[in-house]
Chain A
């Protein structure tokens, strides 16, 4: 069973007034892609004038294995506070999460065909792809 880390009661202080980003991380992310992932988080957070990022990760790689990719986000970061929460491994976890958060920015990295398909089916558009093929790839 995958433990999810979406807060049910209250947020940590360090998560208040933060930029919320949903990150979908799958196999096939190169180190260059990982660096772009980090860049995407910084760009989205700074653009909104925030100094904190709350990152929800949905990944079939599992917990904490997803850090093989996501550690680059921490390594490349200097100026932001970050809280990283694991939020499941399946497309349905992703759909539940974006429904709960309400149109969050979604960044997708790697071979995430099932997730992209699910978002497409749901008509979700607020997403960025980092070398991810849209639709059908596995």
Chain B
């Protein structure tokens, strides 16, 4: 690698909450989206985001997938660039000319960070960690020496609500969207000390084709690799649907698994907005490409596999039409591992609201059947040891109290199925990015019912999951103890949550009466769209 002995000209990094493998348990990464509860922050951070192993130049063994893609593009173009752990960027101060910082949630304005922030009144640790990084001596010294700071990733949009920090930290350019085709130009301009644009938004015309997406050069956190980009469902709250749909070939996928395996990463997370739509017929899953994909991935993966996201309609269709879930799980996956984890989106139990904001989410079934689709898919997952972390969105534009009641009724029916259900407040993204945030004074009694139902559902099942499936490795016993400590604290205080939220409603009413300027930037906010794993693009 060019110049690697001296240091890198282009350093790609993030803060600690992103640059971690979360003890090899991706779901623990979600702890980094909340504040430390019931334990010292240092312990919370250790549970959520332990430091990764690094080499003498500070390059981590595993790094967030999006950063790895940017690294690959720049290295392929001949630049002296590398992903470096945030604690080690000082090693490159003498050579660094551009500092590229990616993040899933820079300021904790995204889901679910903003929700924990609203509900606890405390800043989430990811926000604090990012601020600590930006104000670290190494970053300040880099800026003093004229290093260009370029930020991007899925949370690029948040800088539009953080102008004070943008100015204070001297950010030179924000890149919003898929970066493959624009980042070399921007870096070249930075290296030549040419003026950079303040903001670059990458529209569909400038997204890369499959052939233009490079293979990562270094391992990704917990073996996450993408199998496709984009999603055809067009849900209005989701930014992914704005991107064209592309499928990565199996050869490309296997090359990335090899990169991970060479670095000692045994597991693979298949990333897609809907894994079952890999080479699908529109929104109808096809058995042949999915079976071929899994056969190849399972063969190449030394450890276990998991799926980033599935849609509930695809699960129901795949099983009822082709018995595909049974084939994948019973014949291929279960012989190798005990269960598979995945994120799914319920979002609402209301047919009326589903028709407005996500008319194709239930396809090929009609929106009228959405609650039935959800329930059937949960049953199929339960029977096949697929453990979902599901999301609900509260405060969607045009939501009425009846819609929230419909969601609560659906949650009641999901109680028998092994799962975690995470409620989130609406964050303006996707085709709804011009709409207003869900604010504290929008919280209603019906929302509290849903929040309480979700908490009780998840607390009921999390015990089962930890006892039977999760964190059973001997090396993870201290982590298991920490999580159990946290859960017992939640259980002891569960009766206090409703009164606290009711007090929040009363407070919100008062604030609404007197007006609350800068609601988004102050902690009294917000919001949520579908949660994404911290390392997904």
Contacts and interface: CB of A to CB of B under 8 A. Distances in A.
A106 B16 CA distance: 44
Interface of B is mostly: mixed
A121 interface: no
Contacts of A8: 194-195
Among A5, A76, A79, residue most surrounded by chain B Cβ atoms (within 10 Å): A5
A35 interface: yes
Interface string B176-206: 1100011001100100101111111111111
A43 to B, nearest CB: 16
A117 interface: no
Contact of A79 (B166, B194, B198, B203): B203
B431 interface: yes
Nearest to B203: A81
A78 interface: yes
A74 to B, nearest CB: 6
Among B428, B433, B434, residue most surrounded by chain A Cβ atoms (within 10 Å): B434
B324 to A, nearest CB: 33
Contacts of B205: 51-52, 81
Contact of B434 (A9, A72, A81, A83): A72
Interface of A: 3-10, 12-15, 35, 51-52, 63-65, 67-68, 71-72, 74-86
Interface in B471-527: none
A74 B160 contact: yes
5 pairs of A and B residues whose beta carbons are closest in the complex:
A81-B203, A51-B205, A71-B160, A5-B195, A82-B201
Contacts of A3: 195
B163 interface: yes
A4 B197 CA distance: 9
B462 to A, nearest CB: 37
B242 interface: yes
Given A52-B203, A75-B433, A85 B197 contact: yes
A12 B200 contact: yes
B166 A64 contact: yes
A67 B199 contact: yes
A43 B194 CA distance: 30
A89 to B, nearest CB: 14
B166 A76 contact: no
